[in-house]
């Protein structure tokens, strides 16, 4: 079980419900009842606020965003405000960090490698940029008035309790990017967001990209992926398929 990775397709699931699932799985992982797991899903439109989010990151005020049909939720993850919505792949690893010596920084570097490798397979060159969070397309670091600068395509925000991870990563596949323009995403002023579809990448579909991310996660962290269902793990939720509602 130590080298196994449960790949769980949750379809489209509200943020709070996904959070509850993470906590339930994290308790079982901490007790050694299950192997490491990777939840692969989409969220309905939601802004999630990390522990360091400042009010000015949502300058229109909560009521305005909710009027656009976007939920706003506070979370226990690291990082600042970000947007999730249909067409964006969200991956929540429930992982025991003990094999990595509990090194959270190495774990985050691994998540970056997962995203960069998966994006490359779908025809989008990506990188990390010193001093900036997340994963960016190829190009120089963003600066005012700089043409051809890198755009942000993937975000990371994690939480670790008793050595078990929750939250994780999100990559824009073919989602509406407008909601990012209504906030200061990840606390970075003037950041340009992009997606696999906007960059002309291959197979810009959430289901296809989820399969790629699951495989790269296994390769980066030395796990053998196996598809599993929530029902198999004793969690009551009907089967769902990524992209089925779009």
**Catalytically active residues, by annotation:** 186
Torsion, Cα of 210, 216, 222, 228 (10° steps): 20
In terms of Cα–Cα distance, which of 230, 212, 98 is closest to 162? 98
In terms of Cα–Cα distance, which of 24, 5, 10, 3 is closest to 207? 10
DSSP state of 162: T
State how far the Cα of 127 lies from the Cα of 198, in Å rounded to an integer: 17
- Give the Cβ contact number of residue 234 at 10 Å: 10
State how far the Cα of 28 lies from the Cα of 22, in Å rounded to an integer: 10
Instruction: Provide the token pair at 35.
Output: 């192997």
163 φ/ψ sector (left φ>0, alpha ψ -120 to 50, else beta): left
Q: What is the CA angle 55-58-60, rounded to 5?
A: 115
What are the backbone angles phi and psi of residue 167, rounded to the nearest 5°?
A: 60, -165
């Amino acid at each position: 079980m130590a080298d196994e990775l449960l790949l769980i397709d949750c379809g489209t699931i509200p943020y709070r419900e996904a959070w509850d699932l993470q906590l339930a799985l994290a308790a079982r992982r901490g007790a050694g009842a299950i192997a490491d797991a990777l939840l692969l899903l989409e969220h309905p439109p939601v802004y999630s606020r990390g522990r360091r989010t400042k009010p000015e990151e949502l300058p229109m005020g909560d009521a305005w965003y909710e009027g656009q049909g976007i939920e706003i939720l506070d979370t226990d993850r690291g990082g600042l405000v970000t947007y999730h919505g249909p067409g964006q792949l969200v991956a929540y690893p429930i992982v025991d960090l003990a094999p990595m010596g509990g090194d959270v920084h190495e774990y985050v570097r691994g998540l970056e490698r997962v995203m960069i490798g998966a994006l490359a397979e779908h025809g989008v060159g990506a990188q990390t940029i010193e001093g900036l969070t997340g994963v960016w397309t190829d190009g120089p670091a963003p600066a005012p008035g700089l043409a051809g600068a890198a755009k942000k395509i993937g975000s990371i925000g994690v939480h670790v309790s008793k050595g078990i991870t929750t939250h994780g990563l999100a990559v824009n596949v073919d989602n509406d990017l407008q909601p990012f323009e209504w906030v200061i995403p990840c606390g970075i002023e003037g950041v340009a967001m992009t997606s696999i579809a906007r960059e002309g990448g291959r197979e810009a579909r959430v289901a296809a990209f989820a399969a790629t991310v699951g495989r790269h996660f296994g390769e980066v962290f030395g796990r053998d992926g196996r598809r599993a269902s929530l029902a198999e793990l004793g969690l009551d939720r009907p089967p769902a398929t990524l992209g089925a509602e779009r």
